[in-house]
Structure 1
Amino acid sequence: MSPLRLYLAACIIGIAAYTSVVIANHGMGLMPIFFGDIAAMTWPGQFNLDFLGFLLLSGLWVSWRHQFSPGGLALGLIAVFGGTPFLSAYLLFHSFKTKGDIKALLLGEARARQS
């Protein structure tokens, strides 16, 4: 579990640092560039569309893990817009909450107890 936790922490720090530099150099105009590349049917657009699929899958999984409760749906929405920093922090937090039980981490504690 320690290597996973170290990786998650590195993701949070790395993306935060990179994002800070990008914002300082280019501002906060992500959405027009992100969707513009998709509309242009370029390789950056292909990557963005693929990444968007992962973001939506991440949000769906977080919502499912919380059994589509109102709080789970809110967390799922945050996962879609928060990307790697959110999902890494979420998994890091729950890795401690579940005491490293990977089954509970992935399924949620209620589902892990049922199976």
Structure 2
Amino acid sequence: MSERSVERWRRAWREDGMAALASAGPPKLPRLSDGRFAELEKEPALRPAAHGWADQRWSLARIRALIAWRFRIDCSMAAVWRLMHRHGRSWQCPARRAVERDEGAVGLWKKDVWP
């Protein structure tokens, strides 16, 4: 903390007491309210293909584009990550499996070749 901040706090404390030192809350409220986030949660249920993306994965960039399109709010990737994290979402990496995958051949390879 800087000396200037300490002096500002001392002056506020001398003039108004402890009430002047109470927190005024966060410096900036989230741009996307809880109600709007509830609306946003309905969109990914439609799958990315419904929004024009070929594969079935949601990324931060796609969620950011969806927020910009749906609510006309431009936010950074970090802001989208904080928004998702604040609402209990975590990063997920889907298991990529080829459509042509032969489970029997994979099992044999693991048993015979891998050791």
Higher Cα Rg, which structure: 2
What range describes the TM-score normalised by the shorter chain of this pair?
Answer: under 0.3
TM-score after normalising by structure 1: 0.27
Higher helix share: 1
Structure number with higher relative contact order (C-alpha < 8 Å, ≥ 6 residues apart): 1
